[in-house]
Structure formats: C-alpha cells, structure tokens
Amino acid sequence: MNKANFRTRSIAAACGTALSAVIAIGAAAAADMPIKAPPPIQDSGNLFWAEIDYLGWSVKGDHPPPLVTTSPAGTPRPQAGVVGLPTTTVLFGDSSVNGAWRSGGRLQAGYWFDPQRTRGIEASFFDLQDASTGFATDSNAHPIVGRPFFNVLTMQPDVSGVGFPGAITGSVAVNESSRLLGFDTHYRQYIGTWSGQQVSALIGYRYLRSSDNLSIPEAINAVGFGAFSSIDSFGATSNFHGVDLGAAGEFKRGPWMVEWRGTLALGAVFNSAAINGSTTANFGGGVTTQPGGLLALSSNIGNFSQTRFSVVPELALKASYQFAPRWRLVAGYDLLYWTEVQRAGGLIDTAVNPNLAPPAAGGGPLRPMPVFNTSSLMAQGFNLGVRYNY
C-alpha cells in the first residue's frame, strides 16, 4: 500500500469514527429521554424554505514546481538560473498559487414532509469566483532569466535560457486560474432532542468539482540564430461523486437559532489531465510550428485520466436571527476538506530529455512523462445570507 492510499484510508477511518460517535451520542440521548413531540416551530410560514448566502472563502492553492528563475549579473552561463545553486532565485513557482480569499455564492432550499419538521429533504449549490494569478518578466527586467528542469541525459539540474546578456533576449509568463464548485442533497430525519437541541440524521449525495489551468508562454530571440515562441499548458480537473452521511442539530431561543452540521462523504474522484505544447520557430525567414514546448513534449502531451477513492468531511456552524415573519438573517462558518484532488502543478514532470524538445532529435528516455501527483484541498470561510420560509 502506498503512502497516499494509506493516508486516505486513515483519514476516512478517523472521520468515520468521529461521525459515528456524533450520531451515536444523538441517538443515545434520544433513547434516554421520554418520548415527546419535537419543540414547537418558532418560524412562521409553510413547509418550504430557501436561503441565499454570500461566501467569503479561502481555498488551498496549487503548488507548482520552480518554473522561472534568475541569477545576478556576472553569473557564468552554465550556472545561470540553475535550481539549487545559492546564486539562483526562483521568480515563479515552488510556492502556493491562487490560495487567497475569494467571493462566491450559495443557494439552499428544502421541504419538510410534516408540520413538526421531523422529516425533510434539502439541497445546496455553491460556486466560488475564479482565482487567477499572472506573472511575467523579460530580459529587460532581469538580464538573466531561465526555465529550470532536470536533464535526464546528464542527470543534473539544467535550465533553458530566456535571457542572457549578449546571447539571448526574451520574455516568459505564467498564468494559472482555479475554480471550485459543489452540490449536495440530503434526506433529513429527526432522531431526538438533546440538551435542548433538535438533532437529525442526514444521508444524501455530494458532488464537487475543482479545475486548474496553467500556461507558460515564452518568446526568445537567440542572437545570430533567429527567434521562436513556445507555450506549455496543463489543465487539471477533479470531479467527486459520493454518498454523504452525517448529523445536524439546531437550538432555538426566542428569535435566535444556532445550527451545526457534520458530514462525511465517501466516494470516487475522477481526475483528468490535458497537456499540450507547441513551438513556432523563425530561422532564416522560414516559419515552422512543431508540437512540444519545454515541459510538455511528445512524451507527455495528450489527455489522461485516473479514478481514486476520496473522502470529503465538512463542518458547518450557523447563527440566525428572525427579524421579520418568515425571514431570518444568517451568518456562519464552513470547513471542507477533500482528498486526492488533481491540481495543475501536480501534472508537471520537471525531468526532461532535451532530445525530445523541438526540433526533436529523438533518442533517450521518454521524459517528461504523464504524472498524477494529487493533493488534499481545504476550503474554509464565512457566509452571510437570508432565509425565507414560505
């Protein structure tokens, strides 16, 4: 068993144990109490309800490898921009990308099957604003600019020059965008009243989707040889489908109400990758375009997919105030954790066979190769909205 699967199963076991304990406590408390009807409903209105929330969430960012480097003026060309040397500075990569706070929205609705609100169904959909990061530099800003990689022919760190005084001038950029959305639906069953709060069990379905798109365009003029431009692109998508189990409770006092919820979804995540690259060269007046850039070559260009077991625990806490008949002002906090998510940075293999780079001479190992280095994604933040009972 590899470390990733061991970690995933450990998380699933721990979350399952905690969730079972929550449900067991609620069930035991209900069994010890005299049978009685649920507390009277304080909200006016009928059996339908709907809520709309503004979300202010942060999402764990992608973590691509070092993609652009520089070195001080006077650095010898063989050492210029090579990762691992004390004179090299990483300009982009080797750090979190798109991990800042972002806005979003959520729609929720439900229906109670009885006036006591002991049985019902509910559904929720959220979508966060796209997060994007853009970086660009050139040989005017940094006379020495490079794109680092590991040369599998020499078995040493290497660099593809974008700028070097007297030899190469050029520019390079990195752009990445990320998106997260999700949907869930549950059947809700009242199981008892514990410490003044109405506790229910939940069972349902959860869907999540994460996507990243990363591109690295560059343009280079090699003194005495000609000019060329290239682009590497990496697209990663993860779609989760799973059974969602959990418990929820609510405590009311006058116009105030506090709600909590804990769920654990178990299912499959379908990861897909789209890798592409191309190079356009202009040498001696002739223009040619060939597949392959630097990190996207014939050895890893294409569409790939994999399926993995995944778990998604979620915790939510809300407080609301009934400010008018049928209307509540709602504020809360959400924490969601998702395992085995594919990010764009996890698709990049920095080990490169230079013989495969355009114009390809051929020979040697097939590197870079398609890789699926997954990671966990955590999203958390606050929400503010209104709920209407009708």
Q: How confident is the model at residue 43 (pLDDT cuts 50, 70, 90)?
A: low
Q: Are 229 and 218 in contact (CB under 8 A)?
A: yes
Average pLDDT over residues 355-366: 92
Q: Which residues of 61-84 are buried (b: 16+ CB within 10 A; e: fewer)?
A: bbbbbbbbbbbeeebebeebbbbe
Structure confidence by residue, pLDDT tens digits, 65-98: 999 999 999 999 999 999 999 999 999 999 999 9
Residue 252 tokens read as: 């009311």
Report residue 223's pLDDT band, with 50, 70 and 90 as the boundaries: confident
344: three-class secondary structure by DSSP = helix
DSSP state letters, 83-128: TTSTT-EEEE-SS-BS-SEEEEEEEEEEEESSTT--EEEEEEEEEE
What pLDDT is attached to residue 45? 58
Residues with Cβ < 8 Å from 386, sequence gap 6 or more? 51, 52, 327, 328, 329, 330
DSSP sequence for 141-157: T-SSEEEEEEETTTTEE
Query: Does residue 21 have a pLDDT over 50?
Result: no
Confidence class of residue 44 from pLDDT cuts 50, 70 and 90?
Answer: low
Residue pair 374/4 in contact (Cβ under 8 Å)? The answer is yes
Q: What is the pTM of this model?
A: 0.86
Are the beta carbons of 285 and 58 closer than 8 angstroms?
A: no
pLDDT tens figures, 145-204: 999 999 999 999 999 999 999 999 999 999 999 999 999 999 999 999 988 899 999 999
Stronger pLDDT, 42 or 250, i.e. the higher one: 250
